Amino acid sequence: MNKRISIAIDGPAAAGKSTVAKIVAEKLTYVYIDTGAMYRALTYKALQKGARLDSEAHLIDILNDTSIELQPGEKGQKVLLDGVEVTNDIRSSEVTNQVSYVAVHELVRKEMVKRQQEFAVDGGVVMDGRDIGTHVLPNAEVKVFLLASVEERAQRRHTENIQKGFPSDLEKLKEEIAARDKIDSEREVAPLKKADDAVEIDTTSLTIVDVVGKIMDLALERIG
Ligand code: CDP
Ligand code: CDP
């Protein structure tokens, strides 16, 4: 049997991580884990409870009492929060604009990393996020850091919104993405950062097929 490796995909918002991670996982029949969805699910619950997002103690109390399940669904990954599906709710602009404030807290990250590592104990996993190559799976056989200009990333989200029939303001998206990048890359604990041994891919002018091809080449080389 082929070796079942771990693949870590990191990068800023809308760099294409989840899109390509899902396809790579399908091709290899691996499990796909969207770690951002876990921070989003906690943020959603905290907002519903009216929690202060700057209170680490309150957030960790909530997290310790919360189950977050990621399940394969017909339209990609399904997210269950305490047994209830929240796949779409956690993509709201309110959650998107608040999640980085939740993700700064050390104890929250420690618990999330523990849960994420449990998903990966047997290998055969493609995991995307911000700190996968640096903290969650430091021994991953393949590490990729995806980049794209902020203009391109905002345009991608804008196109997505329009396709879904959602209202969308390109300039506002650009500002929101830049603000989230700043918090994610400047936080003290596990900031968004390329791992020293990660392969950087600038996807600004690449198609999804191009990016998947590059990651598959790296993976197949390691699988042997
Ligand atoms: O899909 P998008 O790139 O917009 O974001 P996401 O992957 O759903 O992640 C949402 C937020 O969760 C990020 O902006 C980070 O603040 C946080 N996050 C994190 O801190 N560490 C991770 N491994 C994944 C996400
Ligand atoms: O997970 P992350 O936030 O990094 O990005 P995503 O949600 O996978 O991708 C954002 C959007 O960019 C999606 O609509 C993709 O179809 C699109 N995309 C693209 O146009 N070109 C790429 N090379 C990768 C993604």
Residue 12 lies in a domain: yes
Position 141 pLDDT exceeds 70: yes
Residue 184 lies in a domain: yes
Dihedral sign for Cα 13, 15, 19, 24, please.
Answer: negative
First-residue to last-residue Cα distance in the chain: 11
Residue 187 lies in a domain: yes
Residue 222 lies in a domain: no
Give tens-digit pLDDT for 89-104: 999 999 999 999 999 9
Q: What is the mean pLDDT of residues 133-153?
A: 98
Residue 122 lies in a domain: yes
| Total structural domains within the chain | 1
Q: Name which residue sits closest to atom 25 of ligand 1, judged by CA.
A: 36
Residue 219 lies in a domain: no
Instruction: Judge whether 130 and 192 are in contact, CB under 8 Å.
Output: yes
Is ipTM strictly over 0.95? yes
Residue 34 lies in a domain: yes
* Tokens 């523990």, located at residue: 114
Share of the chain above pLDDT 70, in %: 100
Instruction: Judge whether 25 and 126 are in contact, CB under 8 Å.
Output: yes
Pairing of strands 31-34, 68-73: unpaired
Average confidence score pLDDT of the chain: 96
The confidence score (pLDDT) of residue 74 equals 77
Q: How confident is the model at residue 2 (pLDDT cuts 50, 70, 90)?
A: confident
Q: For residue 161, which amino acid is it?
A: N
Tell me the C-alpha distance between 124 and 75, whole Å: 21
Which of 9, 19, 205 has most ligand 2 atoms within 8 Å of its beta carbon, as the pocket-test mutant? 19
Nearest Cα residue to 23 out of 223, 219, 224, 222: 219
The confidence score (pLDDT) of residue 112 equals 98
**Could you tell me the residue range of the domain that residue 199 belongs to?**
6-210
What is the atom index within ligand 1 of the atom nearest the CA of 14? 3
Residue 223 lies in a domain: no
Six token digits for residue 147: 């980049």
Q: Return the bridge partners of 80, or none.
A: 69, 85
How many angstroms separate the alpha carbon of residue 13 from the centre of ligand 2?
9
Is residue 98 lining ligand 1, measured as CB closer than 6 Å?
A: no
Six token digits for residue 84: 């209830």
Dihedral sign for Cα 208, 213, 215, 220, please.
Answer: positive
What is the CB neighbour count within 10 angstroms for residue 129? 30
**Buried/exposed code over 172-209 (b: 16+ C-beta within 10 A; e: otherwise):** ebbebbeebbeebeebeebebbbbeebbebebeebeee
- CATH code assigned at 78: 3.40.50.300
